[in-house]
Homo-oligomer: A and B are copies of this chain.
Amino acid sequence: MAEEQKDLYYTRDIPVPETPPAGSDPAPWDKTTIVGTRRSRVDGYERVSGTALYPSDLALPQMLYGAIVRSPYPHCRVRSVDTAAAERLPGVRAVLTDASPEAQVRWEWSRGYEKRLFDPHCRFEGETVAAVAADTPQQARDAATAIVVTYDVLPFVVTLDEAAADKAEKVHDQGNRAKHDTYSRGDMEKGFAAADAVRKRSYSTAAELHTPLELHGCLANWDGESLTIWESTQGVFAVQSKVAATLGLPLSRVRVIGSYLGGGFGSKLTPGKYTIIAALLAKKAARPVKLFLSREETFLAVGNRPPAQMTIKGGVKKDGTLTALEFTGIGTGGAFPAGGTALLDWLVRDLYLCPNVACETTDLFIHGGPARPFRAPGHPQCSWALEQMMDELAEAISMDPVELRLKNIPTVSQGRGGVPYTSTGLEACIRSGAKIFDWSKARKKAEEESAGSHLKRGVGMGSCVWYVGGGGPPSTVILKLFADGSVNLNMGASDIGTGTKTIMAMVAAEELGIRPELIQIENADTGTTSYATPSGGSKTVPTEAPTVRAAAVELKRQLLQWAAEDLGEPVEDLRFEGSRIVSKASGKEIGTTAVSRLKKRGLAVGIGHRGPNPDGKSVNPFAAQFCEVEVNTRTGEVRVLRFVGTNESGRVMNRLTFDNQVFGGIVMGIGLGMTEFRQFDVGQTGKVLNKNWHDYKLPTALDVPLQMISEPVEMPDAEANSAGAKGLGEPVTIPTAGAIANAVYHATGVRITESPLNPLQVMRALSAAQKEA
């Protein structure tokens, strides 16, 4: 059995690209055999069979379970904490409160906002008050409940309006304004004066909560002075540095492992207080502590996409030329500075060609859980407003919405002062999408079919650029070639579910000429892999793919050098041919696994470092989306019938994961646009009313469009990096909500400016419009 299997595995049938001369980067691939094909996940079996061990699956001998006592009020002061009863409960091994000597650690929410870990001044519902570790999760939960906390309940502000009010309760002493930014270019007055039509409207999007399938949490274990943390995280090195800084440990004493995680979407880019609490409980109890939050806790305390109130005023000439865009946005990062308006105006600044732009954003504090980055921070919110405004302007000048956008395609990054893009597929995305969607026909057909029916059909579209997406240094990847020709890929980056491991196996396979199945991947472990930044910002593929290429090229160089010794030939004459190294001059050859230095060393090791990005250019991915909806004007229900997503992200690395990203992004955009919102008990208790999956509505299978088509606009970007790839994970979700809103307007003639587009909002808007009419 062994022999045939070996043949099966070890035959290399993939061409090996030429190895570039030492010191030079590999040229872009002109043709690929593996990269760009449809490939199932290399860890697909593990993921679907349940053998993949996520941090929340792990168990250590003697492991305890942690639980956290959290403030039940949006704003209060802890008067007393009595742990006596809790400490007497069976199985309780450690209790931590603000008074515990072991908990004298400061948590930096952000620069200048360093607070006690169990700060008695609680500024949001869900703030940490105490923690316990016990033998079972039930005992831990019981003990947390048995801790008697008395609170002085204080007034609160949980909406933007409340926070901005004159005599508002102050979240922090200095007031409720966290940040205020302005941006402008050109001359707004002239711009609007030059316009044939000017429109102005206010929009709002609700707060969206991160809902990864795997909850937030970790397992912490001390070996003497050394701490190991298995955390559900997008970036093990980010967790390592924050934990080390918080606990005052050297980096080598903090090992963070996070090979798998069940979703993050930005909320797991950094560790949480739970990470520190687990570590401190483990230290106090001298046993491993597993601390994963409940769904309720994650809804309260580990992040959200901030709500946004936006007003946008646009001016356009009759020929479709945009003359001016004015944007004001108000947002909130919650109770601490957390980017409440981060990138909220970026699309206004950068997406469509416009000489005169002014933006103003105001970030307010509220007594709510802090925000965290959420898939394309700021962008989908802005898109909701901007794409609706674009449609409104198109209507004002009686131009097709697609035409209007095509009229205003920039070739440089206007938001960056005119820096050229390395490549831009914005126009191609819009054209390709419109063609696949059959836009004009579909538009007409929808109008025809709606006539006389309470089921109104409409089509809408939107496009986007994503703020970053080109990746960049630092990243270091190590490739090991085993003596039998199989390969181990050692990478610090996390695969957050997007297929990073699969794509990196394909890159290594492409470059080394072996099958992807032969590549074993170990990743996301600060103890055994090399530095990588967290997986987020659509930068993982453009960062890691060139790094893997560099490591593979280094490996090939070594092999050629060693083969030159064996063959007695100059290394310049040698090249790979499948599984052999051949001299062009003499024809002498040697099998790659027969190279004697490889055998002597047991393996060859190649290190790759991510090279710098191009100077003076901006690397960004682009997208467009088109959709068709059906609105039931009697019930307010909106059905999304179909979606076309066209994305230009440089080279398509894996067509299967590419398409899946697009489909996933559309569904998540449907969540933002149609179903999700965090609801405070405004004016009453200030608590979050829908902190569970029953009341907080995620899109389900029934909300998924009946048809979704993904069509890449493939433009390998040789200037961006040696893999030619740009990011994909975020542009796929940016235009979705706005496109749906435009389609609903097209169907009903009513602009619904407040997300989500659920039956209640739709009926409200339709009724209001009817009354007006």
- Contacts from A to B (Cβ < 8 Å): 1-6, 9-10, 43-46, 49-53, 57, 59-62, 104-105, 221-226, 237, 244-253, 255, 286, 473-476, 478, 480, 482-488, 490, 517-520, 522, 525-533, 600-603, 605, 607, 609
Count of chain copies: 2
- Say which residue of B9, B10, B222, B476 sits within 8 Å of A603 (CB atoms): B476
Check if B221 sits within 8 Å of A51, measured CB to CB: yes
Given the complex of chains A and B, what is the CA–CA distance between A472 and B224 in angstroms?
33
Closest chain B CB from A310 CB (angstroms): 37
Contact between chains at B244 and A474 (CB < 8 Å): no
Q: Are A607 and B609 within 8 A (Cβ)?
A: no
Bound-state CA distance A60–B60 (Å) is: 9
Q: How far is the CA of A601 from the CA of B601 in the complex (A)?
A: 27
Compute how far the CA of A483 lies from the CA of B244 in the bound complex, rounded to whole angstroms.
Answer: 12
Q: What are 25 A-B pairs at a CB distance below 8 A?
A: A1-B104, A2-B247, A2-B248, A3-B248, A6-B248, A10-B250, A43-B223, A45-B223, A45-B225, A51-B221, A53-B61, A59-B59, A251-B486, A252-B487, A252-B488, A252-B518, A255-B520, A473-B600, A474-B600, A474-B601, A490-B528, A527-B528, A531-B603, A533-B602, A605-B607
* A60-B49 contact, Cβ under 8 Å, with A476-B601, A476-B602: no
Of all chain B residues, which has the CB nearest A520? Answer: B252
Closest chain-B Cβ to A10's Cβ sits at a distance in Å of: 7
CB neighbours (8 Å) of A224 from chain B are 43-46, 49, 51
Residues of B within 8 A of A10 (CB): 250
Contact A522 B531 (CB under 8 A): no
A3 contacts across to B, CB distance below 8 A: 248
Question: Which B residues are in CB contact (< 8 Å) with A105?
Answer: 1
Closest CB in chain B relative to A110 CB, distance in Å: 17
**A252→B2 contact, CB < 8 A:** no
Query: What is the distance, in angstroms, from A227's C-beta to the closest C-beta of chain B?
Result: 11
- B605 and A601 form a contact (CB under 8 A): no
CA distance A223 to B520 in the complex (A): 11
Q: How far apart are the CA atoms of A721 and B149 in the complex, in Å?
A: 65
Among B46, B286, B490, B531, point to the contact of A602 (Cβ < 8 A): B531
A518 surroundings in chain B (CB, below 8 A): 250, 252
Q: Which chain B residues border A609 with CB–CB below 8 Å?
A: 601
With A1-B248, A251-B482 already in contact, 8 other A-B pairs whose C-beta atoms are closer than 8 Å: A2-B247, A3-B248, A51-B224, A57-B61, A59-B59, A250-B518, A252-B488, A527-B528
Given B2, B225, B286, which contacts A246 in the complex, CB threshold below 8 Å? Answer: B2
Chain B nearest Cβ from A131, distance in angstroms:
19
- The docked-state distance in angstroms from the alpha carbon of A476 to that of B604 is 9
- Kindly state the separation between the CA atoms of A244 and B253 in the bound complex, as whole angstroms: 34
Chain B residues, CB < 8 A from A529: 528
Cβ contacts under 8 Å, A59 to chain B = 59, 61
Inter-chain contacts of A603 with B (CB < 8 A): 476, 530-531
Q: A255 → chain B, closest Cβ, in Å?
A: 7
Most buried by B among A52, A62, A531: A531
The minimal Cβ–Cβ distance linking A17 to chain B, given in whole angstroms, is 21
Distance, CA A601 to CA B608, complexed state (A): 11
CA distance A601 to B547 in the complex (A): 12
Q: Is the CB of B522 within 8 A of A602?
A: no
Which of chain B's residues has its CB closest to A490's CB? B528
Interface centre among A224, A237, A603 (most CB of B within 10 A): A224
Is the Cβ of B250 less than 8 Å from the Cβ of A484?
yes
Q: A605 — which chain B residues lie within 8 A by C-beta?
A: 476, 478, 530, 607
Select from chain B the residue with minimum beta-carbon distance to A221: B51
Give Cα A689–Cα B62 distance, bound, in whole angstroms: 38
Q: Which residues of B contact A51 (CB under 8 A)?
A: 221-224
Taking the closest CB of chain B, its distance from the CB of A232, in whole angstroms, is: 16
Using CB atoms, name the residue of chain B closest to A52: B223
Closest B residue to A46 by beta carbon equals B223
Closest chain B CB from A698 CB (angstroms): 26
A483 to B530, CA, bound (A): 12
A308 CB to closest chain B CB, in angstroms? 34
CA A57 to CA B223, docked complex, whole Å: 15
Given the complex, which residues of B lie within 8 Å of A221, measured CB to CB?
51
CA distance A478 to B606 in the complex (A): 11
Supposing A51-B221, A520-B226 touch, asked if A483 and B528 sit within 8 A by C-beta, the answer is: no
A5 lies within 8 A of B249 (CB): yes
CB distance from A230 to the nearest CB of B (A): 12
What's the nearest-Cβ distance from chain B to residue A21, in Å? 20
CA distance A10 to B249 in the complex (A): 10
* Complex-state Cα separation, A244 to B482, whole angstroms: 12
**A519, B605: Cα distance in complex, Å:** 22
Q: How far, in whole Å, are A255 and B489 apart by their CA atoms in the complex?
A: 13
Q: Nearest B residue to A602 by beta-carbon distance?
A: B531
A607: chain B residues within 8 A (beta carbon): 605, 607
| Closest B residue to A10 using CB positions | B250
Which of A3, A6, A487, A530 has its CB near the most chain B CB atoms (within 10 A)?
A530
| Closest Cβ neighbor of A601 among chain B residues | B474
Contacts of A531 in B (CB 8 A): 601-603
Q: Which residue of B lies closest to A599 (CB)?
A: B474
